[in-house]
Homo-oligomer: A and B are copies of this chain.
Amino acid sequence: MQAEIITIGDEILIGQTIDTNSAFLGKEFNKIGVSVYQITSVQDDKEHILKALEEAEGNADIIIITGGLGPTKDDITKHTICEYFNDVLIEDKDVLAHVEHLFEKYINTPISDLNRRQALVPSQSTVLKNRFGTAPGMWLERNGKVFVSLPGVPYEMKALITYDVIPRLRATFKFPFIKHRTALTLGLGESAIANRIEAWEDALPSFIKLAYLPSLGRVKLRLSGKHNNRAVLEAELQKQVEALLPQIQDIFVGYEEDASIEELIGNELKSRGKTISIAESCTGGKIAQTITAIEGASAYFKGSVVSYATEAKVDILNVKEDDITTYSVVSKEVAESMAQNVRTLFNTDYAISTTGNAGPTKGESDAEVGTVCIAISTNEGVYSEEFNFGNHRQKVINKATNKAFEMLRKEILKK
């Protein structure tokens, strides 16, 4: 069984909006054993949308359409779907009441006729209630195929998929079985890993595929299996994973299906009852922000000082001015002092610090663009390393953040 995703909106094609919806949809469909055959992003243009619908109907059993359902004139998805189904728009009383309620409760501006038109839906469609916004989801069927039109706002779309679309699909179809197992690794490159596991990879059965997904010092190894017999697939996948793990033990962190690398590291802290604080310079809050994006991070994260200005390193983190003069603000010595002092300040078991130059131009130090020193402090001492993460600002920040988590994990696992 295959799905196709059509995302509608000029804003995607001219690059103003990154399409994050499709990745969510891909994940959710794979969980129920539906492959996404293709993602097609098209303009807010009637003929183009009609063409995409027709092609998708040829390729797939389930067609998910996102976007183009706003109240304004540029949004034509609803009218175009009506045309595709030779249908007419009718007013849905429940949607109208919902729109009016949302305006009354949350929105400061008075409701307009444009907003009320959100309640118009194709007469053949089943309305799916949008918990977080005004545009309803619409479910249509024809010749055994399902078409679902959803708003493009990510959290509105996600709730509709989770609470309405997936349960309805399960009730409508019987799905084959797909399973992924994705090993998260840290600290070794894609081709070095490929070389190491070549014999194992070559011997994989035809219904299991391996993919390498490298990103800034991390490589994900994704095993994807598809089989009509769930037990056969699960047993084979398990067998293959058990053969793989001993070959990557030194770099293996956990499975993506369970959690992200940051979450897995957070769990290591939590299960040991340990706490952490951060002192960030060149990463500018990215490490703290990555930690606090995780629910329940307050169990192990106490806080961070983003000491961007040199004076903040001295005044708040008690880095000695002499050290900055002697070693420069981007130095292992200053990183170590930042880590030790922030650990004292927040009274935590671990502390990480970063100081460096993310570029694009040299800062207060003479350090080459891309130079980053990372230190980690524990109750047994302090340790630091110097890196060069290249000359791309966002890449330097992201690589430094990834490396900080890698060093932290090594330190935690020592005990």
Contacts and interface: CB of A to CB of B under 8 A. Distances in A.
A284 interface: yes
A394 to B, nearest CB: 7
Contacts of A199: none
Contacts of A220: 16
Interface string A196-214: 0000010000000111111
A27 to B, nearest CB: 3
Interface in A11-38: 11-20, 22-28, 30, 35-38
A298 interface: yes
Contacts of A37: 13, 43, 48
Contact of A309 (B201, B298, B306): B298
A212 B72 contact: yes
A191 interface: yes
Given A20-B18, A112-B195, A346-B316, A70 B289 contact: no
Given A298-B309, A390-B132, A393-B295, A188 B15 contact: no
A337 B394 CA distance: 33
A395 interface: yes
Interface in A202-235: 209-214, 220, 222, 224
A286 interface: yes
Given A25-B15, A71-B191, A392 B39 contact: no
A97 B53 CA distance: 47
Binding site secondary structure of chain A: mixed
B302 A304 contact: no
Among A190, A211, A256, A278, the one with the most B-chain Cβ atoms within 10 Å of its Cβ is: A211
Interface in A303-322: 303-309, 311-312, 315-316
A359 to B, nearest CB: 8
Contact of A285 (B201, B212, B287): B287
A284 B295 contact: no
Contact of A39 (B41, B288, B308): B41
A72 B191 contact: yes
A192 interface: yes
B44 A38 contact: no
B315 A194 contact: no
A10 to B, nearest CB: 6
A278 B23 CA distance: 33
A194 to B, nearest CB: 5
A182 interface: yes
The 8 A-B pairs at the shortest CB distance, nearest first, are namely A284-B292, A15-B26, A285-B288, A15-B27, A285-B285, A109-B192, A285-B289, A39-B41
9 contacts: A13-B38, A16-B222, A38-B42, A44-B211, A74-B211, A114-B194, A283-B292, A288-B289, A303-B316
